[in-house]
Amino acid sequence: MIEYYDEKFQKHTKTYNGITARVILHEYDHIEGKLFIDYISPLKRKLLKRKLDDISKGNVKVDYKMNFQK
């Protein structure tokens, strides 16, 4: 359930589910500074470390343009 105010400062409450709810939570996590790795166990994080390091260095092949921080 999300509560928000529109451009006229009227309060709304809405419940989402399915993929829409996941997208909203994903974006809200970004606002809060959280990443998916914050939700996984330390063991899984350690197992993924090499792949995550490669991604952060730009060592990935994708079909679209990616910009990496230096």
Residue 14 three-state SS: strand
Could you say which of 3, 7, 27, 32 is catalytic? 27
Q: Is 27 a catalytic residue?
A: yes
Give dist(CA 59, CA 32) in Å, integer: 27
Cα angle, residue 57 at apex, residues 37 and 49 outer, rounded to 5° = 35
Q: Which residues are catalytic, by number? A: 27
